[in-house]
Chain A
């Protein structure tokens, strides 16, 4: 890592923005490392979660938003459970993803795409249509045959179906999405 000039590169507004949106106070973190100690995905992360918290404390906006770690986080909430300072770390990670998206700084395009496809399926069917989601994701991401070998196995067990199983009143679920999008537009 390069030398960080704390005088010049500390983005105080970013710290404020994350605290406000997540409702968590990053100053509470005393860097004990318990979040990293319990994190099941830390070996895939470019920065372990305790270092993400440290980067946040030092206002290193660009480093955080371009990190892979915030997208690889599975939101299992072990960090939140273990944190002795009662910080909802998973919520902070979620907030960081939201900000990264808003600022078009998504480092893991596929993961963002997966989220989008997932939500599109929810909007359309009122619940998850697994096969549709998977096909849309595979087509858009270019990984055409990703996880295709699992298909027959789960199909056999009746876990997924070829046709969507729409819920009653799925228009109401769709309305939730529209309402949210309108609200988001209003607040910029």
Chain B
């Protein structure tokens, strides 16, 4: 019985972690769907967004280190702090600007190339942004605080304690993350179903050529999609940054999103969410039930093995578009 309750707790927490993974995977899916680009830089985008957010919030001077090294000055900060809400807004603007530049300087020149070439280009982008983030805001570990609560939820602990005699652990940040992710997905769905731009985006995702021929501007759609992906990266960056501080390792969460993506299918937003949940629950339960027997720290590889098992039965991912091959 105890084991069952523990497993239930692990299951719930796995779901919550899955949402966190899905947040990262969502950005990948958006870009892949609209432009066929497998965006390796999504993790770095999240890091960059979080760095920018903290930088703006704390009134850091961008490129301070570079300026100081070249001019011998001692500027660090403007000496003001920006309210969280405004800082998020400003960061979103920066991400839109970034999306515009990426389209202008990179994607535009690579239209119609093979997927692996586009993938490589995003790797170049990842290198660049990683360096840029550090030069702009410094490589220190920063604390990100936009007012999200963190720590064990007391009410859930008390309630479950009354029901099962064991208080469940649910992190309040995870509850918030789930709510925000739900909101984000709802907003994305509403946007793509009910607005003109959203419909255009779906048209582009379906068929570039056909979309072009009915007068949809591909370039505008791409800028828009990258902006949205940048915004999703910002949300992911806020969540993960609140969890463990803003620093280089934040970019590595992309690796946790890969199995989610493959399991869910590259082209499906619900796929990213469901995939995230399956991976989250799967790896946590495996670590809990089997992990101790084989020495633990299994989460990294088990996520991929789980995705692999699903793919053997559905090679296009759970919700991916059916791969039709003709000779």
Do A and B make up one complex?
Answer: no
